[in-house]
Amino acid sequence: MKDENCIFCKIANGEIPSRTVYEDDDFRVILDLNPATKGHALILPKDHYQNLYQIDDGTAAKVLPLAKKMAVMMTKKLGCDGFNVLQNNNEIAGQTVFHFHVHLIPRYSSDNQSLVMPPCGMTAEQLDAVRDVIVG
Ligand code: 5GP
Ligand code: ZN
């Protein structure tokens, strides 16, 4: 299903032009308009899912193999030194476009970028309590 008001639906389905680096029946991979590094790309499913909470299992199952294929191919072509795969859900987590997408971010030893989140500081007891909430 597409969402008529969603810009990534329009891009994924070719209604708005994009710098496409890969396409198949289910996905389009495009260059990010405001890249964090050279080659920063986004995997977009052609169907609309708001984020990871909504994506169907069949589509989700194809995402990681595609991310791997793109990472291998782009590393070879761009000569990057590493790779971040990132996916944001909801505003607090940095999601700004509410159509599921995966960031493919080539990393270079000279890129001066960082994705580091400092530890929030939890005791062993607090970790035990969190585990209990999740499995309980
Ligand atoms: P988010 O913050 O939702 O995880 O990521 C959204 C990403 O989409 C951002 O990196 C932003 O630069 C990119 N973006 C937003 N609008 C467009 C667009 O119209 N075209 C392209 N190619 N990228 C976009
Ligand atoms: Zn959409």
Residues within 6 Å of ligand 1 by CB: 7, 18, 30, 32-34, 42, 88, 94-97
Residues facing 43 on adjacent strands: 29, 102
State residue 2's pLDDT score: 87
Q: Where are the beta strands (DSSP E) in the chain?
A: 20-23, 27-31, 41-45, 82-86, 102-107
Residue-level pLDDT, tens digit, the chain, 136 residues: 889 999 999 999 999 999 999 999 999 999 999 999 999 999 999 999 999 999 999 999 999 999 999 999 999 999 999 999 999 999 999 999 999 999 999 999 999 999 999 999 999 999 999 999 999 9
Please tell me the distance from the alpha carbon of residue 32 to that of residue 18, in angstroms, as a whole number: 9
Sheet strand arrangement including 27-31: 20-23, 27-31, 41-45, 102-107, 82-86
Tell me which of 19, 33, 40, 84 to substitute to probe ligand 1's pocket, judged by most ligand atoms within 8 Å of the beta carbon: 33
Amino acid type, 120:
C
